[in-house]
């Protein structure tokens, strides 16, 4: 029965319905819930996650596929390294086209070319083609667009007037990167072993193309093409060069830690133990996205330098359990450092060159990973004890901190 109240009318008192003010609309205090409140954000994120998962699959799948067919891990490593080097050269040019003509117009044909390169490599391996054909196919995959960078560019456009939301978005994207590189290698190895050696590459190519098509179809959230400026390359932006130096040294942390851990553990549990570092980074990234006050880049790098020394101390004890815990703790400094660094890239890069600027950061990171892998491998092989190989990651983190401190613009930011 509806509630009534006595009201005065021109004809005397009368009973009428009681007026109720509408209840205030509740807004969630969870920054991630508010982040996805805008229409279209869930759709483009879903497509981007599908497209990003293969980034953790292609390398492992190619090594298993090539090594199994040609009985040479050296050849498999050389082919994947060639693809990585070619991507480092081509990716900034692809990102520049994305900035100039839009994400959908460039990302889809660039992805098609990259997927055709992967499928061509699959067919060459299947047919036992000469080894040089594999290198040609690896170079052809270099047109793959930076899907993570395009997603970050969308967040930067949607929340261009909300720094707190952009920080949460960058934290989410970094956690997504870690999750994809945790699941991707495991999924690729499973497919190659459970089905057939080429299954990992085939599924990765299908996911990559399908995810990019879904992502590109979300035109409502795509940032508009900004007017071109005369600023030239984002490398000329004040503070960008030393920031890329920080990314280069940070990549060396990741590359050396991976190789040293694989050499130290040397067994089937090496992968799961190493994945704990990514798990720690993923958890820290999600937590970091909820905080209101963020640390500066130098503070994040200082914390990384300290935490990266924990695996060295744990390895000296000879306990695998202690090493696993140390890697989990060390990974917790990774995401805050990457989130803060990517936020600085967005601040220093002109809006019309945002994809190119973030791709340059990823390119520097990949170069550091390659250098760190070589350094870590040399340290693991030539150090007096295997545990001493863990000296490389904290040294690389310390180098990144020195570069940051020596750059006034990066330090102020």
**218 and 70 fall within a common domain:** yes
pLDDT value for 405: 84
CATH code for the domain of 87: 1.20.1250.20
pLDDT of residue 24: 45
Query: What average pLDDT does this structure show over 321-347?
Result: 85
**pLDDT surpasses 80 at 384:** no
Among residues 226, 261, 280, which one ends one of the domains? 226
Does 379 reside within a domain?
Answer: yes
Domain end among 205, 226, 247: 226
pLDDT in tens, 120-160: 999 998 888 888 998 899 889 888 888 888 888 888 888 88
Helix-strand-coil split of the chain, %, nearest 5: 75, 5, 20
Residue 404 has pLDDT above 70, yes or no: yes
Do 124 and 108 belong together in one domain?
yes
Strand boundaries in 231-370, DSSP class E: none
Range of the domain at 365: 234-413
Whether residues 206 and 303 fall in one domain: no
**First CA to last CA across the chain, in angstroms?**
62
- SS3 of 70-92: the string is HCCHHHHHHHHHHHHHHHHHHHH
Q: How confident is the model at residue 207 (pLDDT cuts 50, 70, 90)?
A: very high
User: Domain total for the chain?
Assistant: 2
DSSP 102: -
In a domain, 5, yes or no: no
Instruction: Tell whether the model's pLDDT for residue 19 goes beyond 50.
Output: no
**Whether residues 50 and 105 fall in one domain:** yes
Indicate the DSSP class of residue 39. T
**Is the residue at 25 inside a domain?**
no
Residue 8 lies in a domain: no
Q: What's the mean pLDDT in 86-95? A: 83
Highest mean pLDDT among 117-121, 290-294, 332-336: 117-121
209 confidence band (pLDDT: 50, 70, 90): very high
Instruction: Round the average pLDDT of the chain to a whole number and report it.
Output: 79
For residues 261 and 327, is the Cβ–Cβ distance under 8 A? yes
Mean pLDDT of 5-11: 50
Residue of higher predicted confidence among 282 and 138: 138
Helix (H) or strand (E) run with residue 202 in it: helix 199-217
Neighbouring-strand partners of residue 17: 4
pLDDT at 229: 58
User: Are both 252 and 391 inside the same structural domain?
Assistant: yes
Q: Are residues 266 and 352 in the same domain?
A: yes
For residue 22, what pLDDT is reported? 46
Spatial neighbors of 60 by CB under 8 A, at least 6 apart, are 184, 185, 188, 189, 192, 200
Domain assignment present for residue 28? The answer is no
Instruction: Please check whether residue 30 lies inside any domain of the structure.
Output: no
pLDDT tens digit sequence for 367-382:
787 777 777 777 766 7
| Residue the block writes with tokens 């978005």 | 169
Query: What is the rounded average pLDDT of the residues 254-282?
Result: 76
Instruction: Please tell me the distance from the alpha carbon of residue 367 to that of residue 373, in angstroms, as a whole number.
Output: 10
Whole-angstrom Cα distance, residue 351 to residue 234?
10
Over range 93-108, report the average pLDDT. 84
pLDDT at residue 254, rounded to an integer: 83
31 within some domain: no
Are 198 and 296 contained in the same domain?
no
Note whether 211 and 108 are same-domain residues.
Answer: yes
Alpha-carbon span 310 to 173, nearest angstrom:
26
Tokens, residue 213: 């098509």
Do 205 and 282 sit in the same domain of this protein? no
| CB within 8 Å of 99: residues ≥ 6 apart | 225, 226, 352, 353, 354, 355, 356
- Alpha helices, DSSP H only, in 102-140? 103-127, 131-140
* Domain finish residue from 226, 257, 277: 226
Q: Which two tokens stand for residue 196?
A: 């057939």
123 assigned to some structural domain:
yes
Distant-in-sequence, close-in-space partners of 41: CB < 8 Å, separation ≥ 6: 35, 158, 221
Q: Indicate whether 205 and 247 sit together in one domain.
A: no
Dihedral angle of Cα 306, 308, 310, 312, to the nearest 10 degrees: -120
The verdict on 306 and 202 lying in the same domain is no
Mean pLDDT across the stretch 62-85? 78
* Residue 306: both structure tokens together: 């300290």
Cβ–Cβ < 8 Å for 216, 356: no
- Looking at the structure, tell me whether residues 50 and 132 fall in a common domain: yes
6: DSSP letter: E
């Amino acid at each position: 029965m509806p509630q009534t109240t006595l009201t005065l009318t021109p004809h005397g008192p009368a009973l009428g319905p009681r007026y109720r003010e509408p209840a205030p609309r509740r807004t969630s205090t969870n920054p991630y819930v508010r982040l996805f409140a805008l229409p279209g954000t869930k759709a483009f994120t879903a497509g981007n996650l599908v497209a990003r998962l293969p980034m953790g699959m292609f390398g492992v799948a190619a090594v298993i596929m090539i090594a199994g067919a040609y009985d040479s891990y050296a050849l498999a490593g050389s082919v994947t390294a060639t693809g990585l080097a070619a991507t480092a050269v081509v990716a900034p040019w692809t990102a520049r086209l994305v900035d100039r003509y839009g994400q959908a117009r460039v990302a889809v044909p660039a992805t098609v070319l990259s997927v055709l390169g992967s499928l061509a490599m699959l067919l060459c391996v299947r047919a036992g083609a000469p080894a040089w054909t594999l290198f040609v196919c690896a170079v052809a995959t270099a047109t793959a667009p930076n899907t993570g960078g395009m997603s970050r560019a969308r967040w930067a456009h949607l929340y261009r007037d909300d720094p707190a939301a952009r920080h949460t978005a960058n934290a989410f994207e970094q956690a997504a990167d870690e999750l994809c590189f945790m699941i991707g290698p495991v999924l690729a190895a499973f497919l190659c072993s459970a089905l057939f050696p080429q299954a990992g590459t085939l599924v990765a190519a299908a996911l990559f193309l399908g995810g990019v098509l879904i992502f590109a179809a979300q035109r409502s959230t795509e940032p508009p093409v900004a007017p071109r400026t005369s600023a030239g390359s984002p490398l000329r932006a004040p503070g960008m060069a030393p920031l890329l130096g920080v990314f280069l040294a940070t990549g060396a942390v990741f590359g050396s830690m991976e190789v040293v851990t694989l050499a130290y553990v040397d067994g089937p549990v090496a992968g799961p133990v190493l994945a704990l570092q990514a798990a720690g980074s993923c958890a820290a990234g999600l937590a970091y996205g909820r905080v209101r006050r963020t640390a500066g880049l130098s503070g994040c790098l200082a914390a990384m330098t300290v935490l990266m020394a924990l695996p060295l101390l744990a390895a000296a004890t000879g306990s695998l359990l202690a090493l696993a815990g140390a890697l989990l703790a060390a990974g917790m400094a990774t995401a805050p450092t990457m989130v803060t660094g990517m936020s600085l890239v967005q601040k220093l890069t002109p809006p019309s060159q945002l994809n190119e600027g973030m791709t340059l950061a990823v390119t520097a990171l990949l170069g550091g990973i390659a250098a760190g892998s070589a350094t870590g491998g040399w340290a693991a092989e030539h150090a007096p004890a295997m545990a001493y190989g863990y000296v490389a990651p904290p040294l690389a983190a310390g180098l990144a901190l020195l570069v940051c401190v020596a750059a006034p613009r990066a330090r102020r930011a």
